[in-house]
Structure 1
Amino acid sequence: MALRYFSGGDPLDIADLHGVADDEVLNSVWDITDAIHLTPEMNITFPETYHDQIECAQGFKVKSRIDIECCVGCIDGMLVWMNQPTSKDQKVIGFGPTKFFCGQKKKFGLNMMGVCDSQRRFIWVKVNMPGAASDFYAFDESVLKQKLEATGFLRPCLCLFGDNAYVNSTYMCTPWRNVCQGLKDSMNFFHSQVRINIECAFGILVHRWGILRKPMPVNISVGEILSLVLALCKLHNYCINKKSAVDPPCEADVANIMMLGGLFLPWMDNSKDAYWEYNSRDRPNELLDGGVHMDDHTEAQRRQYRHDLDKPCHKILAEVIRMGYERPDYSRDRLQAGEDEL
């Protein structure tokens, strides 16, 4: 019952199918959620030893066309969609009602920060900021950032890969801004080829657990949402470890998601195949990129990292220049086509 609910199923339909009372569905959900959190093997942990960090970086190197070997994880933010929170809910994370409204996506929600490895498993997840928070601010307030800045925690020359919501530093590599050709543009392509793994991780998460494609039910508190989302991330990792396919949702669940104003994912929802893999055409755009803004921080806060030495972005660019790497023509054509559409 819980898995069907996680997949976006209607609790009334689920209860009818199993011949149980309506409230038994949510009882099952919280029993399973608690069991997941009580299983140490399913904990999500950022690699803290140099050996484990190097292992993560080697995974990304295998996926990189130019053997980028400095990426220990890819970071991004996603909106966890919810209904307007109550006064009690607002106290859970200590922000007022307007902070839960994401102006970029015109939805109430929470900013979920995630870091994934090369297999698109989450190695760090935090859901403690309202939907209006920028990814920069959410990361700036995180314990992970404090750890990365602590001497000796992160192996030298390793870093996270993020988009331009973040800023280049000794432990963060982001794309070069305002370039559309030349060597920096080529570096941006190879950077994106690695960074896209976190977008895929979020995409797979949303596709597998359809409850994230619609507003969280009003009878689930913010505290319960935090617990539920973390459990879904743990199950996401478990499924990847077990090489479990992402099955297309049943028609009843798609109908329930659509009825509640949820996201329609045409590539998946129209699929009749028994086995389905994440496709970029089903990128959950309505949930991603909501934290790419500067409404809660200043340019000065971003510039404080400008004079950091030994930034990974400079080293990667130097390697691109030395080896003469260029963005592939097919990618340039696709980029131009996308710009024309916009």
Structure 2
Amino acid sequence: MIRDKATVCRVIHCVADLIASKSDMFIRWPDQAEQDRTKAAFRDVAGFPCVIGLIDGTHVRVMKPSKEQERRFINRKGFPSINMMAVCDETGKFMSINAVWPGSAHDSFVFKPSALGVHLETQHRGLEDGILLGDSGYACARYLLTPFRTADTDRKAAYNRAHCRTRVIVESTFGRWKRRFGILHGEVRLVPEKASKIIMACAVLHNIAIILGEPEVEGDEVGLDGNVGQQFIGRETGFHTREYIVQQYF
């Protein structure tokens, strides 16, 4: 029996590694034509312009790591986790994934050094390249717009409403993803390094399910924990872009 369990574990890990290795095929940044379509689709949701993706983080519980790593992986809710950053489109398909950071990492810290964060910081030219929408856990930047903490005008209030109605798609996506793969809702009983592969494999399969039009998994709503992190406090560079959007579109 023990030998059989060991064989099953090896097979599961081999399959997960193989699926995760296909991430570049199924989790990729959209080309220009796809970005134009996505902008139009997001605008139809709540009138928010130029959006090419929604960014957020969600915590996936993992097995308690070694004492040397434990402190890094304990999040603000007191359990060990991986803080997975994801960007999705209007259908809930993942466009970018980062599933290696420990649960103690702030959302903005996960994003900034990521390949996507570096690319946008160095290559983003303006609204023609599109923008991401994120919550207040991220820095407001010329390529990533956050809500106003104080909406003291009607236009800012309208902006915040449209931002919220649009961004809720990524929160819903995490719920759908965790319902489809129950292991993500409970605990991935693996050390963080191996758990990251399982998370990536589930993300690949999620996108394949959307591409193939697979039906949603029915069940109770899965509690989301994307707001485990704190609000961003630091340098923000997107105020002018945000004000321009408010004045031109709201």
Question: Match for residue 329 of structure 1?
Answer: none
In structure 2, C-alpha distance between the alignment counterparts of 1:167 and 1:31, rounded to whole Å: 38
In structure 2, what is the Cα distance between the partners aligned to 1:190 and 1:57?
14
| Per-residue CA distance 1:100-154 (angstroms, 9 max, x = gap) | 1112x22111110000011100000001211011111111221211100123577
What is the alpha-carbon distance in structure 2 between the residues aligned to residue 292 and residue 151 of structure 1?
28
Contact 2:107 2:137 in 1 (8 A): yes
Larger Cα Rg: Structure 1 or Structure 2? 1
Counterpart code for 1:303:
R
Determine the C-alpha separation between the residues in 2 that align with 1:176 and 1:192: 11
Query: What are structure 2's unaligned runs of at least 5 residues?
Result: none
Instruction: Tell me which of 282, 286, 290 is aligned to 2:228.
Output: 290
- Normalization by structure 2: what TM-score? 0.88
Residues 19-98 of structure 1 aligned to structure 2 (within 5 Å)? 21-39=4-22, 42-47=25-30, 49-62=31-44, 64-66=45-47, 68-86=48-66, 96-98=69-71
Unaligned runs of 5+ in 1: 1-11, 91-95, 249-267, 270-281, 322-342
- Match for residue 205 of structure 2? 235
Which residue identity is paired with 2:46?
A: R
Contact conserved, 2:26 with 2:204, CA < 8 A, in 1?
yes
Bigger relative CO (Cα 8 Å, ≥ 6 apart)? 2
Mark the CA change 1:32 to 1:42 in structure 2 (over 3 Å): closer, same or farther. farther
Cα 1:185/1:155, change in 2 over 3 Å: closer
> What pairs with 1:215-226 in structure 2 (closer than 5 Å)?
215-217=187-189, 220-226=190-196
Q: Report the equivalent of 1:317.
A: 246
Asked if the contact 1:74/1:198 (under 8 Å) is kept, the reply is yes
Structure 1 position 155, deviation (Å): 6.3
Separation in structure 2 between the aligned mates of residue 235 and residue 154 of structure 1, nearest angstrom: 33
Write the distance in 2 (CA, Å) between the matches of 1:239 and 1:157. 28
Deviation by residue 1:278-321 (Cα, 9 ceiling, x = unmatched): xxxx2523x32112345xxxx3xx23426x64x1x223311444
Q: Report if the CA contact (8 A) 2:50-2:127 is conserved.
A: no
CA distance, structure 2, for counterparts of residue 107 and residue 38 of structure 1: 28
Question: Which residue does 1:326 correspond to in 2?
Answer: none
Matches of 1:31 and 1:157, distance apart in 2:
38
Q: Distance in 1 between matches of 2:22 and 2:123?
A: 32
The two structures, once aligned, show a CA RMSD in angstroms of 2.6
**Structure 2 counterpart of 1:33, which letter?**
A
SS of 1:130 mapped into structure 2: coil
In structure 2, give the amino acid aligned to 1:22.
K
Over the matched positions of the two proteins, sequence identity in percent amounts to 24
- Say whether residues 1:185 and 2:157 are aligned partners: yes
For the Cα contact (< 8 Å) 2:26–2:207, is it kept in 1? no
- Work out the number of aligned pairs and report it: 250
Distance (whole Å) between structure 1 residues aligned to residue 237 and residue 124 of structure 2: 19
1:162 to 123, 130, 134: 134
Give the Å deviation of 1:40. 6.7
Matched, 1:102 2:75: yes
1:191-211: CA deviations, max 9, x gaps?
Answer: 111111111111111111000
Q: What is the CA distance between 1:23 and its match in structure 2? A: 2.9
Distance, in Å, in 2 between the alignment partners of 1:58 and 1:159 is 13
SS state of the match for residue 125, structure 1? strand
1:244 partner letter: E
Distance between the aligned counterparts of 2:142 and 2:24, measured in 1? 32
Q: What secondary structure is seen at the aligned counterpart in 1 of 2:198?
A: helix
Q: 2:99 aligns with which of 114, 122, 127?
A: 127
